[in-house]
Structure 1
């Protein structure tokens, strides 16, 4: 990688690391909260009368954890991928296929940001049953995580366009 491309990608990678530094503890805290809420739910049902809001909070936490953990998995390339066909291609076609795939992911994520935002707005009048929380907050995770994944896909696309061949040669 040349110095010019390093200087272009370095701040983008720093932003990715910053997002990762925010999302990772958020997922951890969400998991800890989910364990606490479910434990409270079990203990209250066995020992006392059930606490009504625990089921709803657990459901919302699970949704948020799923989206944020999916974002982390996306950034680390941990989602399920079938790559044997692309890996069998010659280097130039492999690079073109990866660029096309990354463009498709980027387009999907941008569409999900728009659709998720619209859905969030449509559901803004609805309140949750126990907490009376606006469902806008619950559904806001969709466009938020899609926007972060769009950023990750954009950086991946730039990496492929700028330094694709070298990256291809270094892949085992």
Structure 2
């Protein structure tokens, strides 16, 4: 849906520049949509295990050491994501007075995607930690299965 909106806005921008005066708000909307799409797509990639990862050491460890290494890696990721949530919320609050130039939209809405995406990814980390704690198997492989 957001990608369709982005394509529509960019198409309107191209057509309006070619035929008459450019519609000013299209550039701003396209930028904001791209930011939201990027962060939300990162959560989808995280859920499916598609982010870049250096797993060769963990993959070579057998049994319990491998599970412990995965748990440590997930805890590090969780720590980073919690920090990103906190920083994102602080940044939203810091920029709450700022309005976008064309739409006069509060920039809080633009920056809200950062803590939101981090919270979604943190949830996936918690799910993976629970799966590792309960089961002996990898919670999800690199193919997202």
Structure 1 and Structure 2 fold alike (TM over 0.5)? yes
Which stretches in structure 1 are left out of the alignment for 5+ residues? 1-28
Count matched residues.
140
User: TM-score of the superposition, structure 2-length normalised?
Assistant: 0.93
Q: Which residue does 1:53 correspond to in 2? A: 25
Shift of 1:88: 1.2
1:105 is aligned to 2:77: yes
1:142 is aligned to 2:114: yes
Q: C-alpha separation between the residues in 1 aligned to 2:52 and 2:117? A: 18
Q: Which residue does 1:26 correspond to in 2? A: none
Shift of 1:93: 1.1
Query: SS in structure 1 opposite 2:50?
Result: coil
Q: Which residue does 2:95 correspond to in 1? A: 123
Q: Which residue does 2:59 correspond to in 1? A: 87
Shift of 1:71: 0.5
For 1:62-81, what aligned pairs fall within 5 Å after superposition?
Answer: 62-81=34-53
Shift of 1:82: 1.8
- When you count helix as a share of all residues, which structure comes out higher? 1
Per-residue Cα deviation, 1:6-34 (whole angstroms, up to 9, x for no partner) = xxxxxxxxxxxxxxxxxxxxxxx110000
Q: C-alpha separation between the residues in 2 aligned to 1:140 and 1:67? A: 10
Q: C-alpha separation between the residues in 2 aligned to 1:101 and 1:82? A: 10
Q: Which residue does 2:105 correspond to in 1? A: 133
Q: Say which is worse superposed, 137-146 or 78-87, in terms of deviation.
A: 78-87
Shift of 1:80: 1.1
Q: C-alpha separation between the residues in 2 aligned to 1:57 and 1:32? A: 13
User: TM-score of the superposition, structure 1-length normalised?
Assistant: 0.78
